[in-house]
């Protein structure tokens, strides 16, 4: 009986060992060598940036990648930054992303775009929990995320050298010049005494993000880009109090639409959710000017090296060219 039990335990141990080795081998096999395929394409370009070269990083959802233009700030102030986000991103994912970013970058500011604070589509608590679990798993074990990459494995060179040098020409911004036909309205910011609380997990992870930023010497800034479809005054009020509670600056551009001469019919690429590139440029430059007013030199001298400037200047010319009819 005892012998049988020892046999079972030994068998299980061998099984676990073989399985772990196989999964480890497969993880190595399917994890992309190039940083280009590690995250959502444009976001993963940040991993290819020169070490400690970024002065600020913007994190958030598709609203951030559509509505923030790092190259516009670079052209105006010579300040290097990156917008690093993904569709439907939420703060738990942002937290894990920031942990990766801080391994290579030491930005002065981390700017949190607030669309990622709320669920765009209603999800149940169980679905949200599942999503957090998957996000966490993705961080600790790459295999489930990249499992489908086995199709791309080159049989001649199945384990190519790691290549984390790819960068995105527009630093994470998804360029788009569409006009969504959104009618001009500013009613969505009508005053209200209500508050729109965030999901508890998102709030908790935002606070963790803030702590992480400060541990790494970065100051958190909270930014709401114009978003007529989803942004509301109750959300504004709630986020304002949240930002205050962690001592972070909060700038809601939805409250400055007149000041920045924002034209919804020209600046949305869709029905009032995502900005197009002219909208992103306008909103980003206005935000930078506000920041420079409040914190002189916030978007000023860059940490770029000489070769870095060369690289960025070339990319800025391409950015300008996009605006040339």
Partner 1 sequence: MAFDSLLYLFAFLLPVYAVWLILPPARKWYALLAGSIVFYLISSPFGAVAVAVSAASVYACARALSGLDGAVSQAKGAMPREDAKKLKLSVKTQKKYIVFVCVLIQVGLLLLLKYFNFFASGVNAAADALGLITKLPELKLAVPLGISFYTLQAISYVVDVYRKAVTAERNFAKLLLYLIFFPTVVEGPICRYNESGAKLCAESRFDFYSFRDGVLLMCWGLFKKVVIANRCNMLVNTVFGDRGAYSGLIVLTAILAYTLQLYADFSGCIDIVRGTARLFGVGLPENFDAPFFSRSTAEFWRRWHITLGTWFRDYVFYPLSLSKPFASLRKKTAGKGYYADLLPTATAMFAVWTLTGLWHGASLKYLVYGLYYFAVMLLGLLVEKPAGKLVKDRDAALWRFVGVVRTFVIVNIGMLIFRADTLTAAWQMFASLFTPYAAADISEALVSLRLDSWDLIIVAVGACVMAVYSTLKVSGRKLPENGTLPGGIARAALIFVLIIAVTLLGAYGDNYDAASFIYAGF
Helix axes 70-77, 277-294, angle to 10 degrees: 50
Contact 66, 180 (CB under 8 A): no
**Whole-number Å distance between alpha carbons of 55 and 301:** 9
β-bridge pairing 56-60 and 81-85: parallel
| Closest to 230 (Cα-Cα) out of 61, 85, 52, 109 | 61
Contact 268, 274 (CB under 8 A): yes
Helix (H) or strand (E) holding 249: strand 249-252
Q: Which is nearer to partner 1, 40 or 230 (CB)?
A: 40
Q: Which is nearer to partner 1, 144 or 217 (CB)?
A: 144
Please, what is the minimum distance in Å from the beta carbon of residue 173 to partner 1? Answer: 21
Q: Which is nearer to partner 1, 26 or 169 (CB)?
A: 26
Q: Which is nearer to partner 1, 133 or 259 (CB)?
A: 133
Please, what is the minimum distance in Å from the beta carbon of residue 90 to partner 1? Answer: 16
Helix axes 306-323, 277-294, angle to 10 degrees: 130
Please, what is the minimum distance in Å from the beta carbon of residue 134 to partner 1? Answer: 6
Please, what is the minimum distance in Å from the beta carbon of residue 224 to partner 1? Answer: 28
Binding site for partner 1 (CB under 8 A): 8, 11, 15, 18-19, 22-23, 26, 30, 125-126, 129-130, 133-134, 137, 143-145, 147-148, 150-151
Please, what is the minimum distance in Å from the beta carbon of residue 129 to partner 1? Answer: 6
Please, what is the minimum distance in Å from the beta carbon of residue 117 to partner 1? Answer: 23
Helix (H) or strand (E) holding 127: helix 125-140
Rg (CA), the chain: 22
Please, what is the minimum distance in Å from the beta carbon of residue 314 to partner 1? Answer: 31
Burial classification of residue 275, based on how many CB atoms lie within 10 Å of its CB (0-12 exposed, 13-18 middle, 19 or more buried)? buried
Q: Which is nearer to partner 1, 129 or 259 (CB)?
A: 129
Please, what is the minimum distance in Å from the beta carbon of residue 92 to partner 1? Answer: 14
Q: Which residue has the tokens 């604070």?
A: 117
Look at the chain and count its residues.
Answer: 325
Q: Which is nearer to partner 1, 18 or 259 (CB)?
A: 18
Q: Which is nearer to partner 1, 141 or 323 (CB)?
A: 141
Side-chain half-sphere CA neighbours of 28 within 13 A: 10
Q: Which is nearer to partner 1, 137 or 320 (CB)?
A: 137
Q: Which is nearer to partner 1, 7 or 181 (CB)?
A: 7
Query: Which positions ≥6 away from 23 have C-beta within 8 Å?
Result: 143
Beginning with the edge strand found earlier in the chain, give each strand of the sheet holding 219-224 in spatial order: 81-85, 56-60, 109-113, 219-224, 249-252
| Closest to 64 (Cα-Cα) out of 45, 47, 87 | 87
Please, what is the minimum distance in Å from the beta carbon of residue 19 to partner 1? Answer: 6
């Amino acid at each position: 009986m005892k012998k049988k039990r020892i046999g079972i335990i030994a068998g299980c141990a061998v099984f676990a060992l073989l399985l772990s080795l196989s999964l480890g081998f497969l993880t190595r096999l399917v994890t992309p060598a190039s940083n280009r395929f590690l995250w959502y394409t444009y976001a993963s370009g940040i991993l290819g940036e020169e070490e400690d070269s970024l002065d600020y990083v913007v994190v958030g959802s598709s609203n951030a990648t559509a509505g923030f233009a790092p190259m516009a700030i670079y052209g105006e102030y010579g300040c290097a930054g990156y917008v690093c986000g993904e569709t439907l991103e939420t703060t738990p994912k942002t937290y894990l992303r920031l942990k990766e970013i801080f391994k290579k970058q030491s930005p002065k500011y981390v700017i949190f775009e607030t669309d990622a604070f709320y669920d765009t589509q209603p999800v149940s608590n169980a679905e949200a929990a599942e999503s957090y679990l998957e996000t966490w798993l993705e961080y600790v074990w790459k295999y489930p995320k990249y499992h489908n990459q086995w199709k791309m494995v080159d049989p001649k060179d199945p384990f190519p050298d790691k290549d984390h040098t790819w960068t995105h020409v527009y630093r994470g911004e998804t360029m788009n010049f569409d006009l969504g036909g959104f009618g001009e309205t500013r009613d969505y910011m009508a005053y209200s005494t209500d508050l729109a609380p965030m999901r508890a997990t998102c709030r908790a992870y935002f606070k963790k993000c803030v702590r992480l930023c400060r541990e790494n010497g970065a100051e958190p800034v909270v930014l709401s880009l114009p978003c007529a479809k989803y942004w509301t005054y109750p959300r504004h009020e709630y986020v304002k109090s949240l930002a205050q509670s962690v001592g972070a600056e909060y700038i809601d551009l939805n409250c400055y639409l007149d000041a920045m001469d924002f034209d919804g019919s020209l600046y949305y690429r869709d029905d009032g959710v995502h900005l197009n590139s002219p909208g992103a440029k306008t909103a980003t430059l206005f935000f930078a000017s506000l920041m420079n007013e409040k914190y002189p030199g916030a978007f000023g001298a860059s940490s770029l090296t000489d070769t870095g400037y060369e690289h960025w200047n070339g990319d800025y010319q391409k950015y300008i060219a996009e605006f040339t009819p």
